[in-house]
């Protein structure tokens, strides 16, 4: 299996909505974004699938060295072998890739966030940076486009947090800020015990409204000149915003189930966004 094939398999197996937006890219850009996404999956899995925290930290430290070595042309993993040829053409900066690892390490250091400002910092590391790198691969010609991508990545992560409230709680993680739980009279125990209530619905209504506002703020930053090149991100936004609508329509029942869209619906939303241009 070649490095590109390894990354392709890693991306396809994840079942992520991102996969559908990659299908509409040119082969070269598709290889680059697939390698980037495979890297994100590797370091994310290091934390999520490793039951021993000390082992997870060792693995993340290994990835730090592997990324540094990649910028010197010394890479050993199939993901870095696939990603290395795209570093210069798409101006992918090491500090951004290292920042993603920082975000994964944050999951080892804490499982609660005091307020939205603290959560924003986490979102920047695990999602906004990925947005910046992705926009560079898609073809960003204006600095405003990277600002759009940063905000869009934040919106994606807020959506993930909403969708995965129950799943994360079962892992002992609560990303909804403590200050906002208190504001809506919802306790951490309510989430850990999957207690759905009117207060919880109001809390989630607030979270969905903020995520939707983040999408609007991102779109307002995207220059017309780069809109066509950035269609993969817009496809993802169409899929994720539809997911938020489904969460609302289902009455915010995310504590005991994971609301998702079918693959054919994701592909249809991606295609509609693509032909809209």
Per-residue pLDDT tens digits of the chain, which is 277 residues long: 899 999 999 888 776 777 778 888 999 999 999 999 999 999 999 888 888 899 999 999 999 999 999 999 999 999 999 999 999 999 999 999 999 999 999 999 999 999 999 999 999 999 999 999 999 999 999 999 999 999 999 999 999 999 999 999 999 999 999 999 999 999 999 999 999 999 999 999 999 999 999 999 999 999 999 999 999 999 999 999 999 999 999 999 999 999 998 889 988 998 898 887 6
Per DSSP, the three-state class of 128 is: helix
Q: Which residues contact 99 (CB under 8 A, 6 or more apart)?
A: 124, 125, 129
As given in the structure block, the two tokens for residue 28 are 């070269």
pTM (predicted TM-score): 0.94
Under 8 Å between Cβ of 233 and 131: yes
Residue-range domain boundaries for the chain: 1-14+21-109, 111-276
CATH superfamily of 111-276: Farnesyl Diphosphate Synthase (1.10.600.10)
Q: Show the DSSP H helices in the chain as ranges.
A: 3-14, 18-22, 27-48, 53-70, 78-83, 94-109, 116-123, 129-138, 143-163, 165-170, 178-183, 188-192, 198-221, 224-227, 231-249, 263-276
CATH code reported for the domain at 1-14+21-109:
1.10.600.10
Give the H or E element holding residue 112. Answer: none
Same fold, 1-14+21-109 and 111-276: yes
Q: How far apart are the first and last CA of the chain?
A: 35
């Amino acid at each position: 299996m070649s490095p590109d094939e390894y990354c392709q398999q890693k991306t396809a197996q994840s079942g992520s909505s991102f996969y559908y937006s990659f299908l509409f890219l040119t082969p070269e850009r598709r290889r680059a974004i697939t390698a980037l996404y495979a890297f994100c999956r590797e370091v994310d899995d290091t934390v999520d699938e490793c039951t021993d925290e000390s082992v997870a930290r060792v693995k993340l430290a290994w990835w730090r060295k592997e990324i540094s070595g990649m910028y010197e042309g010394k890479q050993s993993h199939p993901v870095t072998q696939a990603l290395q040829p795209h570093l210069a053409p798409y101006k992918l900066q090491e500090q951004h890739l290292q920042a993603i690892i920082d975000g994964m390490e944050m999951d080892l250091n804490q499982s609660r966030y005091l307020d939205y400002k603290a959560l924003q910092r986490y979102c920047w590391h695990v999602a906004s940076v990925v947005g910046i790198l992705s926009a560079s691969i898609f073809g960003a010609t204006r600095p405003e486009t990277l600002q759009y991508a940063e905000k869009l990545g934040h919106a994606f992560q807020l959506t993930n947090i909403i969708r995965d409230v129950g799943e994360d709680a079962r892992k002992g993680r609560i990303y909804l800020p403590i200050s906002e739980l208190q504001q809506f009279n919802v306790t951490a125990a309510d989430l850990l015990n999957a207690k759905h209530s009117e207060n919880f619905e109001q809390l989630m209504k607030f979270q969905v409204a903020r995520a939707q506002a983040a999408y609007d703020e991102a779109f307002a930053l995207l220059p017309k000149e780069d809109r066509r090149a950035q269609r993969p991100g817009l496809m993802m936004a169409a899929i994720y915003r539809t997911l938020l609508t489904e969460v609302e329509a289902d009455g915010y029942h995310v504590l005991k189930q994971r609301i998702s869209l079918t693959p054919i619906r994701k592909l249809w939303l991606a295609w509609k966004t693509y032909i809209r241009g």
